[in-house]
Amino acid sequence: MPLGRQEAPERHATHFRRHRRHRTPAMPSTRQLTPEERDFFALLTETVFANPFGTDRDRLTRLLGREAPLDTVSQAILYDRLMPALERRLDRLRDRGLSHLDHFIGEDRMLMRQVFLFHGYQHHYALFDGLIAHQRLGHGTAPDLGWMPTLLNALLGYGFDPKESRRWIALYYQLRRAYYFIERALVGRSEPMRALRRSLWNSVFTTDLNNYTLLLWERMQDFSTLLLGETGTGKGSAAAAIGRSGVIPLDAQGQGFARGIEQTFTATNLSELSEGLIESELFGHRKGAFTGAVDNHEGLFSRCDSYGTLFLDEIGDLALPVQTKLLRVLQERTFTPVGSHKPLRFEGRIVAATNRSLEDLLSGAGFRRDFFYRLSGNIIRMPTLRERLADNPGELEDLVGALLGRMIGDSADVLQARIMESLSELPADYPWPGNVRELEQALRRVILNGRYVPDALPGDPASEIDAWLAAAEVGSLDAGELLGGYCRRLYDRLGTYEAVARVTGLDRRTVKRHIDGSA
Ligand SMILES: Nc1ncnc2c1ncn2[C@@H]1O[C@H](COP(=O)(O)OP(=O)(O)OP(=O)(O)O)[C@@H](O)[C@H]1O
């Protein structure tokens, strides 16, 4: 549902005129959909209400008939291809006097609600894209939302009541933001990236968009997410995608939205906050609470409202007393500023991240298990760059293009070929231990020095592998070290113990023992 191509504004106007003619239905009709229409609409709504990054293309294939979807064609284009078939059927319904929700009863009415919702969405999403672009470019001026009343009338024209219509407008806006931040801000078309997008989408809309709109709409605050992944895999970008895709209702006057996109996401890196100040930064303090507390200070938790998400990065390094306090926020949704006795309510949503592995996080006494379980309702693993490139080597060029575009704008093309040529000098299975952040640095170095020579940092998979290869070559490894190094190398490339077990013919537990013992 959230994907689609830009379109001309005239299309909106024609569409509104058509629908206004039917705003007040004469009488509920018993004339209903034909079996063919019912099948088509049912398949259509199943398709467009599904996760747009899902793998199920069968429904689309059936809907599009001969124009079967190709893997390379984005869902956006497929949805646009659906439109003529949908318009044809809606025209036929209109000719039979069926153009308003009140013309339908029972299940047909439920179905037509979704059809009209999708139809309205396809006709208007470009307006929301314009609004998002306006805010992302930081114009600093209020966006022109003169189209809002027209859109509201269009929804009223389908038969949605005013309250519902305002909700759907907020949903359209939310879907477009989710599409923008999940699809466009994260580059990559490999399967691991598609899987990541599916998970991010579900973190925002759950697995059932219909249920979400009916039940969970404004109740997602209690669904915390824990992002796990190596450094530079994009945990910050993934957290921002979730945070900026939350619901934002229309403001009280119905003229605009209650919050700007930038107000919805706050990030903090916990490892950068000094131990003495961390509680005050998170929960705030009262004047006089400690030496230097000359004024009341509002912490991050009170600044994040019910439409906001607070991103707590590097949660794995948090001191135990602060974990205890955070656990209370997660469980009771209350916190107390330093020096105060009055608990305050936290209304927002939490996304946390760590680059420590789960095994490492939970192996010592440094991380409270109850805190982990409260956070872990939704765990998302960020794919490493080497997993992504193992699946789709073309992703390197996509990323280089996108990162260069960010660095130097439109003229990126000129440099791209030279940079790709230089990166091709790296070993084919270079493990990119610093992931996308390392790739960013690699681009800078190629621009400055003409080539990229990775730094061998202790603990990096790259330097470990080099040392292991050298030791194997001079014959100084025993069987355990040899197998451990081999399993680890495979693990870095394949990403799971199961996959390593398949390749080596060992059982999973033995593989895990070799990998963990060989680090
Ligand atoms: N899929 C991606 N597409 C485009 N840019 C990306 C992607 N993944 C990461 N980046 C970029 O790489 C850089 C590092 O990403 P980010 O800071 O989100 O990583 P991280 O996992 O949070 O790292 P750390 O654990 O070190 O904080 C950022 O500039 C980000 O925009």
Give the three-state DSSP class for 44: helix
With 70 as the cut, is the pLDDT of residue 287 above it?
yes
* CA–CA dist 218, 205 (Å, integer): 11
Alpha helices in 137-161 (DSSP H): 148-158
Alpha helices in 179-261 (DSSP H): 191-205, 209-211, 235-243
Give the three-state DSSP class for 280: helix
Cα of 400 from ligand 1 centre, angstroms = 13
Cα of 495 from ligand 1 centre, angstroms = 19
Q: Report the mean per-residue pLDDT for the chain.
A: 84
pLDDT of residue 94: 92
Buried b (16+ CB within 10 A) or exposed e, 460-483: bbbbbbeebeeeeeeeebeeebeb
Find out whether 403 and 250 touch, Cβ atoms under 8 Å. Answer: no
Cα of 437 from ligand 1 centre, angstroms = 6
Q: 313 pairs with which residues across the strands?
A: 269
Provide the pLDDT confidence category of residue 195 given band limits of 50, 70 and 90: very high
Give whole-number Cα distances, 169 to 157, 162, 180, 427, in Å. Answer: 14, 11, 17, 50
Using one digit for the tens of pLDDT, what is the confidence trace for 115-135?
A: 999 999 988 888 999 899 888
Of the candidates 256, 223, 270, 217, the residue with the CA atom closest to the CA atom of residue 242 = 223
Cα of 316 from ligand 1 centre, angstroms = 18
- Which amino acid, one-letter code, is at 113? R
Q: State whether the beta carbon of 235 lies less than 6 angstroms from ligand 1.
A: yes
Q: State whether the beta carbon of 402 lies less than 6 angstroms from ligand 1.
A: yes
With 60 as the cut, is the pLDDT of residue 432 above it?
yes
Give the three-state DSSP class for 381: strand
With 80 as the cut, is the pLDDT of residue 84 above it?
yes
Of residues 17 and 365, the one with the higher pLDDT is 365
Give whole-number Cα distances, 346 to 222, 236, 247, 328, 333, in Å. Answer: 10, 22, 17, 11, 5
Find out whether 158 and 120 touch, Cβ atoms under 8 Å. Answer: yes
Q: Which residue has tokens 């990030």?
A: 267
Q: Report which protein residue has its CA nearest ligand 1's atom 29.
A: 437
Instruction: Give mean pLDDT, residues 313-328.
Output: 90
Taking the mean position of all CA atoms in its chain, how far away is CA 347?
A: 21
Question: Domain residues of the chain, as ranges?
Answer: 9-187, 242-381, 385-449, 461-518
Q: State whether the beta carbon of 333 lies less than 6 angstroms from ligand 1.
A: no
Q: Which two tokens stand for residue 493?
A: 């490339």
Cα of 186 from ligand 1 centre, angstroms = 9
Q: State whether the beta carbon of 315 lies less than 6 angstroms from ligand 1.
A: no
Q: State whether the beta carbon of 354 lies less than 6 angstroms from ligand 1.
A: no
Of the candidates 350, 348, 339, the residue with the CA atom closest to the CA atom of residue 312 = 350
> How many other β-carbons are positioned within 10 Å of the β-carbon of residue 223?
17
Of residues 53 and 444, the one with the higher pLDDT is 444
Site to probe by mutation for ligand 1, drawn from 230, 237, 313 as the one with most ligand atoms within 8 Å of Cβ, is 237
Instruction: Give mean pLDDT, residues 95-112.
Output: 92
Q: Report which protein residue has its CA nearest ligand 1's atom 24.
A: 231
Instruction: Give mean pLDDT, residues 79-88.
Output: 84
Find out whether 415 and 422 touch, Cβ atoms under 8 Å. Answer: no
Predicted ipTM of the assembly: 0.97
Cα of 324 from ligand 1 centre, angstroms = 29
Q: State whether the beta carbon of 227 lies less than 6 angstroms from ligand 1.
A: no
What DSSP character marks residue 263? Answer: G
Atom from ligand 1 closest to the CA of residue 313:
27
Cα of 475 from ligand 1 centre, angstroms = 39
434 Cβ contact partners less than 8 Å away, ≥ 6 residues apart: 231, 232, 441, 460
Cα of 252 from ligand 1 centre, angstroms = 37
Q: Which two tokens stand for residue 384?
A: 């490493």
Of the candidates 115, 108, 117, 110, the residue with the CA atom closest to the CA atom of residue 32 = 108
Provide the pLDDT confidence category of residue 74 given band limits of 50, 70 and 90: low
Q: Report which protein residue has its CA nearest ligand 1's atom 26.
A: 231
Q: Cα(first)–Cα(last) distance of the chain, in Å?
A: 45
Q: State whether the beta carbon of 236 lies less than 6 angstroms from ligand 1.
A: yes
Q: 122 pairs with which residues across the strands?
A: none
Instruction: Give mean pLDDT, residues 160-172.
Output: 92
Atom from ligand 1 closest to the CA of residue 239:
18
Give the three-state DSSP class for 110: helix
408 Cβ contact partners less than 8 Å away, ≥ 6 residues apart: 415
Cα of 188 from ligand 1 centre, angstroms = 12
Instruction: Give mean pLDDT, residues 342-363.
Output: 91
Residues of the chain with pLDDT > 90, as a percent, come to 41
pLDDT of residue 406: 87
Cα of 307 from ligand 1 centre, angstroms = 24
Q: 379 pairs with which residues across the strands?
A: 226
Taking the mean position of all CA atoms in its chain, how far away is CA 360?
A: 26
pLDDT of residue 2: 47
Q: State whether the beta carbon of 388 lies less than 6 angstroms from ligand 1.
A: no
Site to probe by mutation for ligand 1, drawn from 272, 398, 435, 437 as the one with most ligand atoms within 8 Å of Cβ, is 437
Q: Find the range with the poorest average confidence among 27-31, 188-192, 314-318.
A: 27-31
Report the top-level CATH class of 242-381: alpha beta
Cα of 494 from ligand 1 centre, angstroms = 21
Instruction: Give mean pLDDT, residues 65-70.
Output: 56
